[in-house]
Each structure stands twice: as C-alpha cells, then as structure tokens.
Structure 1
C-alpha cells in the first residue's frame, strides 16, 4: 500500500512546458546569465583585495561565459526555428 507521500508525488514531472532538451538549454542559460552578472562583482573585489592574478582570472571567465551564453542563445534560436522548442 502506498503511503501519503508516494501518492502526493505520483504525478510529479508528468506535465512539461518544454521538451527536456529545450528546458536544459533555458535553465543553463539562466544559470550562466547569473554567473556573468556576478563576475563584475568578482572583478571589483579582486581589484580591491585579491591576489595579483585574480582580476585577470575573473575577466577571462567572464569572457568565456559571454561566449557560452552566445552559443546557448544560438542553440535556442535553432530549436525555435526547427520547431523542437
């Protein structure tokens, strides 16, 4: 016999607003946008009190993240265009 928790969770995940691959792209884009935004603060913190190479490190990560975001946006555009979004 199923307990109350099992019954309450029986249908979790059945309804999807997007296919899994599209949700993955959107979720990852959101995460990376948050990181990109925070890199400015990391750069500022490194300027104030960080080790010698810290500012350059954060700037490199920010540059790479911006490229990752552009790639994700392109993939999302592709999904919309081909109808798999």
Structure 2
C-alpha cells in the first residue's frame, strides 16, 4: 500500500499542487473537503487511478468517502487490485 500512496502523492503534487512543499501533503491531508480537489480534478484523479493501476472506479466510489485522502485512495486501489 505504501507504493500506491507514493504514486498517488506524486501525481497529486505534480498535477494539482505544483511548487508546493511535498511534506505538506500527507497521507491524511483532506483532498476534497480541504479544497485541493474539485469535480474536474477528482475526475482527472480517477482517470489516473484507472490507467495507472488497471482498476475501475465506480461512480459511487468517486466521492469524499473514498477519495478524500491519499490513505483512503490507497485503500480503495488495494481493495480493487486484490479483488
């Protein structure tokens, strides 16, 4: 799961927070409720997850319950990869 978190962390930093201090983005930083991700950037994140990890994120999973932190995202990806 650590490798998933690292990949997602890098993607979010590069795509949505260029120039930000990487240490400021932790596994528990709120992404949607904290205003880092909006509907368009959440969609971009879902496309990345699907392409990079070879999974399918269902519409009901593309919300704050599953994508509000890097840890939640990694758990979702790990679950899907294990299934």
Instruction: Tell me if TM exceeds 0.5.
Output: no
TM, length-normalised to structure 1: 0.28
Larger Rg: 1
The structure carrying a bigger helix percent of its residues is 1
